[in-house]
Structure 1
C-alpha cells in the first residue's frame, strides 16, 4: 500500500452540464463507493450479533435483503473504476505489458491483505480461511482488468451472457459427486463440493466449514458483476453522448436487468451465497440505477453539499474496510474487568458500558454499529483534510 496526496474535491457550486461528459474522476463513483463502504461498516460491526434488525442481516438462503446488495455494489464499482483507471493504457497497446504487471501486483496485494486479515491474530495457517471478501475483490479486479485491456465491449457483453447462462447450467444440471443430482442446498451444491475438494473444509468459512459464501465457483458470476460495472463505466466515458442521455439509458438498463433478474429468480433463485445469475442481474440493475442517480446529482447538476461524509469514505475505501476488521480484534486483546468482575475484551467492555444499559438489545446493537461508523468517519475526515489517500 502507498500513501499519496490529492487535491481536495470541491463540494460547493454548480457544475456546467458539459463538464460531466469530460474524462476525469467521477465524483459520483467516489460517493457511491463511500456509501457502500459506510453500509458495509454498519452491517459488519453490530454491538451484538445476536440482536440485529432484519434489513441489516443477510437473507438466510434464497432471497435478498438490503445487506445482500452491499458486496455486489462494491464489485460493480470495481468494474466502473477499472474503466477510469485503465482507459488510457487500453488505447496504447505498447503499454499493456506494464499495465498487466500493475494489475497482477494490485490483485496480489488485495489477496494478501485478505489472507492477513483472516490469519490475524493467531496466524494459524492450518485453519485459515482462504476465500473471503478481499480475495474475491482481488480475483474480480484481476480478471476484469485483463478483459478490459484485451477485449471489446461487444465481447464483454457476450462473455457476461455466457458466464451467467453457463453458471446456471453448472449448478442446476451437473450432478454433484457423492451427493447425486444437482441441487442448490447450502452444503451439497456443486460449488460447495468444489470448495471442499480443492481448498479443504479447514480453509472454508468458519461458520459452516462445509461451504463458503465467497467460494471458488461462485466467483465466476461475481466476475459478471464486475463486467456489468465495466460496461456502465464505458458508457459514461463516451464523450459524444450527452449526460442526460447517459443517465436515461443507465436507468433503462438498470430497470431491464432488475426485471430480468426477478424473472430468472423463478427457476434460479436470487441468492447471495451462491451468487446466482438472477442475483447478478437483480443487484447489478439496482447498482446501475443508483449510479445513474448519483451521476446526475453530483457530476451533472453539481449538488455536492451533502456528499462529504461518503466522499471521505470513498477515497479510502479499502483502508477503512481492512482496518475496521482488525481493530475490534486488537481492542479485544486488551483485557479489562467486566461488569461481573471477569476479564473481558476492551471492545466488548466499551459496548457493555456505554450502550447496553441505555437501549433495548437490538437498539444497543444498532447504536454500537453507528458509533463505529461515526468514529471511522472522524478518522477518514482527518485523513481527507490532510489529503492522505492510501492506495493499494
Structure 2
C-alpha cells in the first residue's frame, strides 16, 4: 500500500475507471433474470456493449505496462527485477481470485481454476516479459501469430473428443483442453464442461494486451504531436473494427471463445474509446467530469475485489426471509428497472469506499 502516487496519465486512470465502473454495474444486477439487453453478455456469437468491458480492461493493462516500465528499460540490469516483479504481480492476481472463492464459497473440491483475475494475471505477466525483452516489431509479429494460430487451432484442428473442429461451447478445442487440464470439477460453475476464461483463450487475450502496449508506446513517442497521435489511434481503431467484422464472416466474433475477430473488433473500440479520453482530458484539458471515475481507475483491482465481497454479503441479509432487493427495489420499479437500480446503488456504494481511499491518497498495489 502506498500513500503517494507517481505521475500518471490522467486519461488512463479515467478510462480504466469507466471500465471498472461498467464491470461492477453489469456484474451486480438485482436479478440475473431481469437485465436490459445491452447489459447482458451475448448468448454465444455476437457482441454486446457488455462484452467489450473485459477486453478493454486487458487493453489498458497493456497501456499501463508501458507507463509503469518504460523509464526502467534503458538499463538491462533492471530487466531481471522487472520480470520478477511482473511474475509476483501475475501470481498474486491468480492467488487473490482463488482466495476470494474460498472465502465466499468455502471448499476446494469445486474451486474454479480459470477466471477473470487469472486471465489478467497471465496476460499481464506474458505481455510484460514481451515488452521488457522484445522490440515493437517482434511484438507485432507475436500478435499476428497468436491471432492466426488461434484461428487455425480452433477452426481446422480436430478436437480429440469428437475428431472434428468445433466452435460450439462444449465441443471446441479450448473446452476439451480445460477438461483435460483442470477437470470438470474446476471449471465455470454454470457449465462445468467449458469455461469462458479457459486456458487456450489466453493466447488471443495476449494479443489484446499487446494492442495496449502498442498504443502505450505510441503515446510515449516524443516525435509526434498530440493531433497526429490521436488521428492515428482513430485510424487504427477503425481499421481493427473493420478487420474484425470481416474475420467474423468465417471466425465469428465471440467473447466466450475470445476469437481472433473478437480481439480485433473489441480492440478497435478500446483504442477509439481511449483516444477520445486522451484527447478530451490530456490534450484539451476537460477534466471536471472525471472525478466520479478516477477513484475506480486509481484502485482498479481493489474495486473489483470489493465488488465480489460487498454485494455477496448484502445479498445474505434477510428480513422475513426476503432479500433487501425484494424489499427495497422490486416493489417500486418494473423488474428490469429494479434490477438496474439495484446495480446502480451497488456501484455508488462501492464508489463511496473508493472515494475515501482516493481522497486519503491510499493506492493499493498488487
The reply to whether TM is greater than 0.5 is yes
Q: C-alpha offsets along residues 324-382 of structure 1, whole Å, 9 cap, x if unaligned? A: 10222233445x333xxx3x5xxxx2211210110011100000001111111111112
Q: Report SS of the residue matched to 2:364.
A: strand
Does structure 2 retain, via aligned residues, the 8 Å contact 1:261–1:279? yes
Q: Distance in 2 between matches of 1:118 and 1:214?
A: 15
The residue that corresponds to 2:194 in the other structure is: 211
Shift of 1:121: 2.7
The residue that corresponds to 2:181 in the other structure is: 198
Q: Report SS of the residue matched to 1:309.
A: coil
Match of 1:363 among 334, 337, 343: 337
Q: Residue 252 in 1 paired to residue 235 in 2?
A: yes
Q: Residue 236 in 1 paired to residue 219 in 2?
A: yes
What TM-score, normalized by structure 2, do the two folds share?
Answer: 0.98
The residue that corresponds to 1:183 in the other structure is: 166
After superposition, residues 330-345 of structure 1 pair within 5 angstroms as 330-334=313-317, 336-338=318-320, 342=321
Q: Report SS of the residue matched to 1:87.
A: helix
Q: Distance in 2 between matches of 1:124 and 1:215?
A: 21
The residue that corresponds to 1:373 in the other structure is: 347
The residue that corresponds to 1:29 in the other structure is: 12
Q: Distance in 2 between matches of 1:307 and 1:194?
A: 43
The residue that corresponds to 2:112 in the other structure is: 129
Does structure 1 retain, via aligned residues, the 8 Å contact 2:311–2:346? no
After superposition, residues 81-120 of structure 1 pair within 5 angstroms as 81-120=64-103
Q: Report SS of the residue matched to 1:273.
A: coil
Q: Distance in 2 between matches of 1:276 and 1:289?
A: 20
Does structure 1 retain, via aligned residues, the 8 Å contact 2:21–2:347? yes
Match of 1:269 among 248, 252, 255: 252
Q: Residue 58 in 1 paired to residue 32 in 2?
A: no
Shift of 1:122: 3.4
> How many residues matched?
366
Q: Report SS of the residue matched to 1:4.
A: coil
Shift of 1:120: 2.2
Q: Distance in 1 between matches of 2:75 and 2:240?
A: 33
Q: Distance in 1 between matches of 2:345 and 2:220?
A: 38
Q: Distance in 2 between matches of 1:113 and 1:3?
A: 19
Q: Report SS of the residue matched to 2:289.
A: coil
Shift of 1:6: 3.3
What TM-score, normalized by structure 1, do the two folds share?
Answer: 0.91
Q: Report SS of the residue matched to 2:29.
A: coil
Gap regions ≥5 residues in structure 1:
8-23
Shift of 1:125: 1.1
Does structure 2 retain, via aligned residues, the 8 Å contact 1:172–1:183? yes
Does structure 2 retain, via aligned residues, the 8 Å contact 1:4–1:391? no
Does structure 1 retain, via aligned residues, the 8 Å contact 2:14–2:297? yes
Q: C-alpha offsets along residues 17-63 of structure 1, whole Å, 9 cap, x if unaligned? A: xxxxxxx5211110100000000000000001110001100000000
Does structure 1 retain, via aligned residues, the 8 Å contact 2:59–2:212? yes
Q: Distance in 1 between matches of 2:4 and 2:185?
A: 41
Gap regions ≥5 residues in structure 2:
none
The residue that corresponds to 1:318 in the other structure is: 301
